[in-house]
């Protein structure tokens, strides 16, 4: 492809910048997480997130360039997340990217955050075979996507209520495990029995690729409130059983989608893809069917800018540039280019 892209990501609570060559060679990947600040509030506070992004963004970009050993003039294009996400947070990265693109007279590249999560897989292996199915599981999304080729997305299904990561976060908050909830529940689950508590799995109508986690969430809360004493052991079992219920539905629906669409490859992406049980269960089932399976290393599953620079590199190669009038869209859909 022959491009050097600076990627910028500020859609939620990580201020991130990265330099990636040809969508695969990560020269730097700098992330400043605000999680310690938001933890005090039990979740992300949008105004605080925007202010912290403003304080950090220039420093993070300098660090990304410095670690890559490149000056701004050596960058071919600036890729930035313009949605979905918190609008005030998105605007910090977007304004910075626009100013840089204008000052350097280099193309501005508009990247969808979910597309970025998917493209983290192409950093690991640029030769993944199409057509493919991708399961995107994050704090805001649970989506099954069919991709016939680069940049082409067919949405097969999504959540009707809570996203998978959101379910982890809400259950964790109720069990007083802190924020973010996914890693906390996973940690407890290592010493728990996934079959200990019988919890519901919502498969919805036959053939549906939609998800629903609110019933499961409620079942966990009810079970927990009814227990007279919650010793440490039962919390481990409850965490493991909850995690298993989420994983079972995600894996079964993804395998069904892969079979129906006769794909070569299945990808897993998004923050919840850091979950070891999910990585292993889906990987085993997919590879057991003779298909290729890909999931990014943990650091590229949760929010980062290397995935944005990677997706940006593919857009750059197609000559897909955005105007400097580009706006931020909190509810941007995958495959929808709003410019």
Q: Does 82 bind ligand KG4 (CB under 6 A)?
A: no
Instruction: Report d(CA 169, CA 275) in Å as an integer.
Output: 13
Output the smallest distance, CB 229 to Zn ion, in A.
38
> Out of Zn ion, ligand KG4, none, which partner does residue 56 contact, by CB within 5 to 8 A per kind?
none
Instruction: Report d(CA 334, CA 153) in Å as an integer.
Output: 7
Q: Which DSSP category does 84 fall into? A: S
Q: Which of 86, 326 has the CB closer to ligand KG4?
A: 86
Q: Does 12 bind ligand KG4 (CB under 6 A)?
A: yes
Output the smallest distance, CB 179 to ligand KG4, in A.
8
> Out of Zn ion, ligand KG4, none, which partner does residue 212 contact, by CB within 5 to 8 A per kind?
none
Output the smallest distance, CB 96 to Zn ion, in A.
19
Torsions phi, psi of 313, nearest 5? -60, -40
> Out of Zn ion, ligand KG4, none, which partner does residue 180 contact, by CB within 5 to 8 A per kind?
ligand KG4
Output the smallest distance, CB 298 to ligand KG4, in A.
8
Q: Which of 272, 311 has the CB closer to ligand KG4?
A: 272
Q: Which of 123, 272 has the CB closer to ligand KG4?
A: 272
- Give the interface with Zn ion as residue ranges (CB under 5 A): 138, 303
Rounded to an integer, what is the distance from CA 206 to the centroid of its chain?
27
Rule CB under 6 A: which of 184-213 touch ligand KG4? 186
Measuring CA to CA, which residue among 154, 129, 167 is closest to residue 271?
167
The mark string for 136-155 relative to ligand KG4 (x by CB under 6 A, - otherwise) is --xxx---------------
Select the span of 60-68, 125-133, 162-170, 312-320 touching ligand KG4 (CB under 6 A): 162-170
The order of strands in the sheet holding 25-33 is 25-33, 14-21, 4-9, 77-83, 108-112
* Residue 302, phi-psi category: left (phi > 0), alpha (psi -120 to 50), beta (remainder): beta
CA neighbours within 13 Å on the CB side: how many for 302?
18
Residue carrying the six token digits 């999680």: 35
Q: Does 295 bind ligand KG4 (CB under 6 A)?
A: no
CB-based burial, 80-116: b 16+ in 10 Å, e otherwise: bbbbbbbbbbbbbbbebbbebbeebebbbbbbbbbbb
> Out of Zn ion, ligand KG4, none, which partner does residue 272 contact, by CB within 5 to 8 A per kind?
ligand KG4
Rule CB under 6 A: which of 266-285 touch ligand KG4? 270-272, 274-275
**What contacts 90, CB < 8 A, 6 or more positions away?**
10, 11, 81, 82, 83, 328, 329, 330
Q: Does 77 bind ligand KG4 (CB under 6 A)?
A: no
Q: Which tokens hold the place of 111?
A: 């990247």
Q: Does 182 bind ligand KG4 (CB under 6 A)?
A: yes
Q: Which residues bind ligand KG4 (CB under 6 A)?
A: 12, 138-140, 165, 168-169, 180-183, 186, 270-272, 274-275, 302-303
């Amino acid at each position: 492809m022959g491009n050097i892209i600076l990627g910028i990501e500020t859609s939620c609570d990580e201020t991130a910048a990265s330099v990636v060559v040809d969508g695969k060679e990560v020269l730097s990947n700098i992330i400043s997480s605000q999680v310690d600040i938001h933890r005090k509030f039990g979740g992300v506070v949008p105004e605080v997130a925007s202010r912290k992004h403003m304080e950090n963004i220039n420093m993070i970009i300098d660090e990304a360039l410095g670690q890559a050993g490149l000056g701004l003039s050596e960058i071919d294009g600036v890729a930035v997340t313009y949605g979905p996400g918190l609008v005030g947070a998105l605007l910090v990265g977007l304004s910075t990217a626009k100013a840089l693109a204008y000052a350097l007279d280099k193309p501005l590249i508009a990247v969808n955050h979910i597309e970025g999560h998917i493209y983290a897989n192409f950093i690991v292996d640029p030769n993944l075979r199409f057509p493919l199915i991708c399961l995107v599981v994050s704090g805001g999304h649970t989506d099954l996507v069919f991709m016939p080729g680069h940049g082409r997305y067919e949405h097969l299904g999504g959540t009707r209520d809570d996203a998978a990561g959101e379910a982890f976060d809400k259950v964790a908050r109720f069990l007083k495990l802190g924020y973010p909830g996914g890693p906390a529940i996973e940690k407890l689950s290592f010493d728990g029995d996934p079959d200990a508590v019988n919890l519901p799995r919502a498969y919805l109508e036959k053939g549906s690729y939609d998800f629903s986690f609110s019933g499961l969430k409620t079942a966990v809360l009810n079970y927990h409130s009814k227990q007279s004493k919650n010793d440490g052991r039962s919390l481990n079992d409850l965490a493991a059983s909850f995690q298993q219920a989420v994983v079972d539905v995600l894996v079964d629906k993804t395998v069904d989608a892969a079979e129906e669409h006769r794909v070569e490859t299945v990808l897993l992406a998004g923050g919840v893809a850091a979950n070891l049980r999910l990585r292993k269960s889906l990987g085993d089932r997919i590879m057991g069917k003779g298909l290729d399976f890909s999931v990014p290393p943990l650091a590229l599953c949760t929010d980062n800018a290397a995935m944005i620079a990677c997706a940006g590199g593919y857009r750059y190669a197609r000559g897909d540039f955005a105007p400097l009038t580009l706006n931020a869209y909190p509810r941007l859909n995958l495959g929808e280019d709003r410019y």
